[in-house]
Amino acid sequence: MSYSSHYLNCLGRELHYTDWGDRANPEVMIAWHGLARTCRDMDELAQHLSARYRVICPDTLGRGLSQWSPEPDAEYCLDFYTRQATALVDQLGLSEFHWVGTSMGGAIGTLAAAGSLRGRIRRLVLNDNGPQLAATAIERIRSYAGSPAAFATVSELEQYFRTVYKPYGWLSDAQWRRLTESSVRRLPDGRVTPHYDPAMVRQFINYPQDYDLWAAWDSLTLPVLCLRGAESDLLLADTAEAMRQRGPQAAVVEIAGCGHAPALNVPEQLGMVERFLNGA
Digit-coded pLDDT (tens) for 97-153: 999 999 999 999 999 999 999 999 999 999 999 999 999 988 888 888 889 999 999
- Determine if residue 250 is left, alpha or beta; phi over 0 gives left, psi from -120 to 50 gives alpha, anything else beta: beta
The predicted-structure confidence for 148-187, as pLDDT tens digits, reads as follows: 999 999 999 999 999 999 999 999 999 999 999 999 999 9
Collapse the DSSP code of 127 into the 3-class scheme (helix H, G, I; strand E, B; otherwise coil) and give the result: strand
Question: Over the stretch 229-264, which tens digit does the pLDDT of each residue have?
Answer: 999 999 999 999 999 999 999 999 999 999 999 999
Q: Check: CB of residue 104 under 8 Å from CB of residue 34.
A: yes
Task: Provide the residue ranges of all domains of the chain, joining segments of one domain with +.
Answer: 3-134+200-277
Q: What's the pLDDT score for residue 81?
A: 98
Under CATH, what is the fold of the domain 3-134+200-277?
Rossmann fold (3.40.50)
Report d(CA 116, CA 121) in Å as an integer: 10
Give the confidence band of 1 by pLDDT, cuts at 50, 70, 90. Answer: low
- The residue that leads in pLDDT, 280 or 189, is 189
How many Å from the N-terminal Cα to the C-terminal Cα in the chain? 24
CA atoms within 13 A on the CB side of 115: 18
Q: pLDDT by residue (tens digit) across 55-78?
A: 999 999 999 999 999 999 999 999
What sign does the dihedral 60-63-66-71 (CA atoms) show?
Answer: positive
Using CA atoms, how far apart are residues 172 and 123, in angstroms rounded to an integer?
29
Q: What is the pLDDT of residues 24-37, one digit of tens each?
A: 999 999 999 999 99
SS3 3: strand
Specify the pTM.
Answer: 0.97
Q: Specify the pLDDT at position 129.
A: 98
